[in-house]
Chains A and B, each alone.
Chain A
């Protein structure tokens, strides 16, 4: 009959925290994907569902932050335990902001109304796909404590920034050619901006993972935007 390892209860709670982070990650990934589909199809009903669901994302964020504060107050975590809890606090905030950007795309759909899209949606879905891939892998890097993987993700932000440049210039020329599309083109610029921000937040998460693993905080890339 063995003795329990010291602090088994505490380490169990940290593992649960990790699972909570992954759950929140899935929630916001779903929100991003659904919001982009809603924009592609100008599906106001789906957009409204994404917007309404953001409340759940926020609730989960606060619940997670609360757990982190409890652990700090009651368990006096140090070293890698402390860095993990601090990293979770940071990641949770980035995830919640990603949820907000998805909600923002949903709101753009609602504002857009019945008129057709200025152009078929090409850049936003591409940017969103890259951003979601970066996000999934940054959460994977978090789970596996993989700093090398996290660093790779930071380097991918440039590709998303480039797509944003292209989207912006494309929409700008359309607005110059045809001022009547300015409002709708602006909505698409906002949507592209949101997608770019999602990728940026994914790199923040990756930076938090590097901090967690190495104990050295720091910026790994400077975003163009």
Chain B
């Protein structure tokens, strides 16, 4: 125990701060860390990137100079990624985007971005995860599977822990409801309160909930089960909805339905929403972009005067088709984006700032190695519920942090 020190983990958006880490013992290195976090820690020793230009090894200075050259020469560059970088690196990246007139986007544009927008703009009420632990008695995972994406979500905050007002916790006081297209690992924990919906049927399900709350017979799904759900929601004292990337495809054009549902639920009782973010600092990026531009995603800066443009055609798919240079950091776009967008991006000259080898770094024209945020480089990040967390680096490295690399690219221009 004496050899162990508290560290934080940037493996997912929960940013757990109770990881006990020891570099003295040969076998056991981290306690209380989930499998996802363990893989993140192991990436310290995995295939690390080297500075590369056109597939050949180069010096860091050369790589930075070449990256600056590519970005400077581009007419409509795209800067993608952001979500696994510290807030400081994001701020420098945003300065760079403004200067070169780049389009800016992150993975949340295909995931929980719209929900994050509603939360950040105050259109739906939200709370912190600590409030969830202390007060919440109903947690609804809609289109999200925290057991897989944020493994410690249920055990740290939403279902199993005993909180200030919830001393009897999952045994008596808490209810976990899962709405998903498949029997996810989270759904296995609450088989009686799992609602299976088909792909794209979330809208009907949402309308059925509204019907049940008004005392009407629902037109969708198992009527008895839906009425049961209605009575659970009515009895709830403090409910929290965790919308994930699963409901994005069916609700993306009808987001007002979600705010209607939240408004209706708040007439019955207290209900909050906390989107389940992907990268550890996805919310940080959304917040930064909102502060700077008034939008949370898919923004372009005009080349000459830095004017902000936000149009449907400036969405990621449009920007990817138009782009003639890509700067990716804190993400692996070719692996995570829909195939059409990834294919369009693969043809573009890519500059990648990444700590480990990825599909994107294999295809990139310039690769610049970086330190891993939270483990080798410090900074601050915003947790999925909006809490600001400061990250203390604990591994020594001679690699530059993303913030320093982006600053040097700006200087080289």
Are A and B subunits of one complex? Answer: no
